[in-house]
Structure 1
Amino acid sequence: MKQIKQSLKNLDLFSLRLRLTIGISTFSALILGSLAVWTSHKMQQILIDSHKHNIQQIVDRLPHDIQLYSEMMQPETGLQKAINNLSNSNTLLFIKNSDNQISIKSPTLSLLSDSTVNKLMSITQMSIKPQIYHVNQSYFVLSGGSLQVQGKFLGKLFVVRDISREQMMFMAMIRSLSIASILAIILITLVIAFYIQYSLQPLCQLSQMTAVISLEDLGQAQLYLDNAPSEVKELAQTLTMLLSRLSQSWEKERQFVSNVSHELRTPLTIVHGYLQSVLRRQSNLTEIQIEALETAASEADHTIRLLQDLLDIARADSGYLRFQMKSYILNDLVEEVVMMAKKYSDRTITIESSIYPIELKTDYSRLKQVLLNLIDNAVKYSPSNTPITLKLNRFHHQAIIEVCDHGYGIPLQQQERIFERFYRVDESRSHTTGGSGLGLSIVKTFVEGMGGNVSVKSKLEEGSVFTISLPIIS
Structure 2
Amino acid sequence: MNQISKIWSKIDPFSLRVRLTVGVAGVSALGLGSLAIWTSWKMQQILINDHKLNVEQIAERLPRDVQLYSEIMPPSTGLQKAINNLTTTNTYLWIKSSDHQIIAQSPNWNQLSQTTSTKLMSLTEMSVKPQVAKVNQRYFVLCSSALPIQDQTLGKLFVVQDVTSEQTIFLVIVRYLGIGSILAIITISVAIAFYIKRSLQPLRQLSQMTQVISLADLGQAQIYLDNAPSEVKELAKTFNMMLSRLSQSWEQERQFVSNVSHELRTPLTIVHGYLQSVLRRQKNLTPAQQEALETAALEAERTIRLLQHLLDLARADSGHLHLRMEPCVLNDLVAEVVNMAEKYSDRTIKIESTTKSIEVRTDYNRLKQVLLNLIDNAVKYSEADTPVIVKLNQQGEEAIIEVCDQGCGIPLQEQSRIFERFYRIDEARDRSTGGYGLGLSIVKTFVEGMGGTVTVRSRTTTYHQTSRLNKGSVFTITLPACSLLE
- TM over 0.5: same fold? yes
Normalising by structure 2, report the TM-score.
0.91
- The answer as to whether partners of 2:400 and 2:477 remain within 8 angstroms in 1 is yes
CA–CA separation in structure 1 for the residues paired with 2:311 and 2:118: 104
2:468 maps to none
- The answer as to whether partners of 1:48 and 1:131 remain within 8 angstroms in 2 is no
Which deviates more from structure 2 when the two are superposed, residues 449-458 or residues 66-75? 66-75
1:339 maps to 339
Which deviates more from structure 2 when the two are superposed, residues 210-219 or residues 71-80? 71-80
CA offsets, 1:20-75, max 9 Å, x none? 11122122212222322232233224433210232245346546765776688644
- 1:28-177 equivalent positions in 2, closer than 5 A: 28-59=28-59, 62=62, 66=66, 74-109=74-109, 112=112, 116-117=116-117, 119-121=119-121, 123-147=123-147, 154-177=154-177
CA–CA separation in structure 1 for the residues paired with 2:72 and 2:170: 44
Shift of 1:201: 1.1
CA–CA separation in structure 2 for the residues paired with 1:103 and 1:236: 89
Q: How many residues align?
A: 474
CA–CA separation in structure 1 for the residues paired with 2:9 and 2:397: 38
- Supply the AA of the counterpart residue of 1:18: V
1:226 maps to 226
- The answer as to whether partners of 2:55 and 2:130 remain within 8 angstroms in 1 is no
Confirm whether residue 473 of structure 1 aligns to residue 455 of structure 2.
Answer: no
2:429 maps to 429
CA–CA separation in structure 1 for the residues paired with 2:334 and 2:394: 14
CA–CA separation in structure 2 for the residues paired with 1:79 and 1:2: 74
Shift of 1:236: 1.1
1:189 maps to 189
- Supply the AA of the counterpart residue of 1:196: I
Which deviates more from structure 2 when the two are superposed, residues 121-130 or residues 258-267? 121-130
- The answer as to whether partners of 1:48 and 1:130 remain within 8 angstroms in 2 is no
2:308 maps to 308
- Supply the AA of the counterpart residue of 1:40: S
Shift of 1:161: 0.7
CA offsets, 1:220-240, max 9 Å, x none? 222232222221111111111
CA–CA separation in structure 2 for the residues paired with 1:335 and 1:316: 28
- The answer as to whether partners of 1:424 and 1:434 remain within 8 angstroms in 2 is no
- The answer as to whether partners of 1:87 and 1:106 remain within 8 angstroms in 2 is yes
Partner SS, residue 389 of structure 1: strand
Unaligned runs of 5+ in 2: 462-470
Confirm whether residue 263 of structure 1 aligns to residue 272 of structure 2.
Answer: no
2:472 maps to 463
Which deviates more from structure 2 when the two are superposed, residues 264-273 or residues 100-109? 100-109
- Supply the AA of the counterpart residue of 1:191: A
2:364 maps to 364
Confirm whether residue 386 of structure 1 aligns to residue 386 of structure 2.
Answer: yes
- Supply the AA of the counterpart residue of 1:291: E
- 1:177-216 equivalent positions in 2, closer than 5 A: 177-216=177-216
Which deviates more from structure 2 when the two are superposed, residues 115-124 or residues 345-354? 115-124
1:241 maps to 241
- Supply the AA of the counterpart residue of 1:445: T
Confirm whether residue 11 of structure 1 aligns to residue 8 of structure 2.
Answer: no
CA offsets, 1:424-455, max 9 Å, x none? 12122243415111111100010000000000
- The answer as to whether partners of 2:262 and 2:311 remain within 8 angstroms in 1 is yes
Shift of 1:108: 3.0
Normalising by structure 1, report the TM-score.
0.93
CA–CA separation in structure 2 for the residues paired with 1:444 and 1:128: 92
CA–CA separation in structure 1 for the residues paired with 2:406 and 2:286: 41
Partner SS, residue 472 of structure 1: strand
Which deviates more from structure 2 when the two are superposed, residues 223-232 or residues 408-417? 223-232
CA–CA separation in structure 1 for the residues paired with 2:4 and 2:61: 67
CA–CA separation in structure 2 for the residues paired with 1:250 and 1:124: 93
- The answer as to whether partners of 2:56 and 2:129 remain within 8 angstroms in 1 is no
Partner SS, residue 344 of structure 1: helix
CA offsets, 1:60-111, max 9 Å, x none? 6546765776688644234323323432442101123354432101133355
Which deviates more from structure 2 when the two are superposed, residues 95-104 or residues 438-447? 95-104
Partner SS, residue 421 of structure 1: coil
CA offsets, 1:340-398, max 9 Å, x none? 11111111001111242100000001100000000000001000000001100101111
- Supply the AA of the counterpart residue of 1:397: E
- The answer as to whether partners of 1:390 and 1:402 remain within 8 angstroms in 2 is yes
Unaligned runs of 5+ in 1: none
Partner SS, residue 428 of structure 2: coil
